[in-house]
Every structure is written in structure tokens, then in C-alpha cells.
Amino acid sequence: AQSVTQLGSHVSVSEGALVLLRCNYSSSVPPYLFWYVQYPNQGLQLLLKYTSAATLVKGINGFEAEFKKSETSFHLTKPSAHMSDAAEYFCAVTLGTDKLIFGTGTRLQVFP
Amino acid sequence: DAGVIQSPRHEVTEMGQEVTLRCKPISGHNSLFWYRQTMMRGLELLIYFNNNVPIDDSGMPEDRFSAKMPNASFSTLKIQPSEPRDSAVYFCASSLGRARLSETQYFGPGTRLLVL
């Protein structure tokens, strides 16, 4: 059965520091993986997705994620955090042809 | 495009009352999803439709919850009777629904429900 695990419910970084949000997946078939971001009082919006075309996926707002099959991971990174990156980030894996299974989320705080 | 539209944005009601949440998906999208988000349980899929037909309602908590999609541009989620434990943010999302594993879901702004 497909699932995702996000390590760390809260991550704090200083402005300008590297952002690393962890996601590990479990899937019995080649997975399709997503990162969504949720800003306060808003819905989720897609940051990036892995569809097997390339293992390094670039998304919006300078974020990227690398699919590592050997580690069953799809960690999200950004070289330099900005105050506007403060939000909750969700990793998700496709279940079937339409459904997504979301992780529990990681709240990112950025300090000046 | 206006994106996924949900109404109301906020709802406060008393226990036992009926609550109806509304959603207008993005035009041309064939799949529609209802999610519930709480601190305790995170983001849960309640039900989803494809071409107006309910495909999977296994996430609907109990018979008090019902969802309909009478046409391609409108869906409702109804709770009757409501209970305090139903307090949550309810999201509607839509996708092109082409049965592709890489399909992106587009979320509405959510309805924040408080049942007193």
C-alpha cells in the first residue's frame, strides 16, 4: 500500500539558510510524488511533482526535490530560505489513478 | 480562471443543525474531491467524484455526511445533524481527471466550520 512519512512536524531555519523537508514513501508500484504548500488560511497549492521523467524536479519559488529510489525518499530543498516561505508543506503519493495520500505535514518557520 | 470556489468561507452553527458546504470546480475538470483537515487527523479524503459520479466514499465518516454532484460545475457536502467533532476546515479540490497518475489537484480556499 502506498503511503508517505514526513519526518519532523516543525522545522525552523534562519532567513538565508538551507531548507530541507524530509519525505519518505512506501509504494508497491513506481510512485508519483508531489509536494504541496499551504499558506495560512489558504488551500493547498502544488509546488512540484515527480512523474519519472527526471529524478531532480524543480518547482516554484526556488524549491526542488530529488527522487531517490534506493532511499525511498523525495526530500524538498531550497538553498536560501525567505520569510515568505513560512507555511505548511505536504508530501503526497498517488494512490490509484486519481487519489492522493498526504503526509501529516511539516510546518516551516523562518526567522529573520 | 477563478480557480476552485467554495462557499461559505466560514460557518458557525450549533450542534444538531444541518450544514451545507458548496464547491464549484475549475471549468473543464472532471474529478472533484472533498477533504477535511484537522489538527488531530491531518488532511483526510472524504469522497471523490469523476464525471459527476461518486467513485470512492470510503472516507466519509458516517451517515451524517452526504455529498452530491448534480452537474459538472457544482457539488455539495452536507452534514446532518452536525456535531462539535465535525469542526474542521473542509477543502474542495478538482483535477482534469484524465486517469493519469500524475494529475495535479487544485484546491479551493476551504470552508472553516465550527460547530458549537
pLDDT exceeds 90 at position A3: no
Q: For residue B23, which of B78, B80, B76 has the smallest C-alpha distance?
A: B76
Q: In this model, does residue A96 exceed pLDDT 70?
A: no
CA of B5 vs chain A CAs: smallest distance (Å): 11
B99: nearest CA partner in chain A: A97
The C-alpha torsion from B25 through A42 and B101 to A22, rounded to 10°, is: 180
- How many angstroms from the chain centroid is the CA of residue B11? 14
Residue A2 clears pLDDT 90, i.e. is over it: no
Question: A30: cis peptide before it, omega within 30°?
Answer: no
Residue type, B69: M
Q: What are the DSSP calls for B13-77, one per residue?
A: E-TT--EEEEEEPPTT--EEEEEEEETTTEEEEEEEEETTEEEE-TT--STTEEEEEEETTEEEE
DSSP calls for A60-109: GGG-EEEEETTTTEEEEEESS--GGG-EEEEEEEEETTTEEEE---EEEE
The rounded Cα B32 to chain-centroid distance in angstroms is 8
Are A108 and A82 in contact by the 8 Å Cβ rule? The answer is no
- DSSP letter at A23? E
Q: Is A95 a residue whose pLDDT tops 80?
A: no
Interface test with A, best of B44, B103, B106 (most A CBs within 10 A): B103
- Smallest Cβ–Cβ distance between A46 and the set B97, B104, B108 belongs to B104
- pLDDT at position B81, please? 96
* Contact assignment for A99 to B48 by CB distance below 8 Å: yes
Per residue in A11-39, pLDDT (tens digit) is: 999 999 999 999 999 887 778 899 999 99
Instruction: Name the strand (E) or helix (H) holding A35.
Output: strand A33-38
pLDDT, mean of residues A54-72: 93
Read off the pLDDT of each residue in A88-93 and give the average, rounded to a whole number: 95
Q: Which of residues 27-86 of B touch A (CB under 8 A)?
A: 31, 42-43, 45, 48, 50, 55-56
Indicate the SS3 state at residue A111: strand
CB B50 within 8 A of CB B31: yes
Task: Please report the pLDDT score of residue B100 as a whole number.
Answer: 67
Yes or no, beta carbons of A97 and B99 under 8 Å apart: yes
Quote the minimal CA–CA distance from A46 to chain B in Å: 7
Q: Which of B76, B105, B92, B106 is nearest to B35 (CA)?
A: B92
Write out chain B's pLDDT in tens, 116 residues. 689 999 999 999 999 999 999 999 999 999 999 999 998 888 999 999 999 999 999 999 889 999 999 999 999 999 999 999 999 999 999 998 776 667 889 999 999 999 99
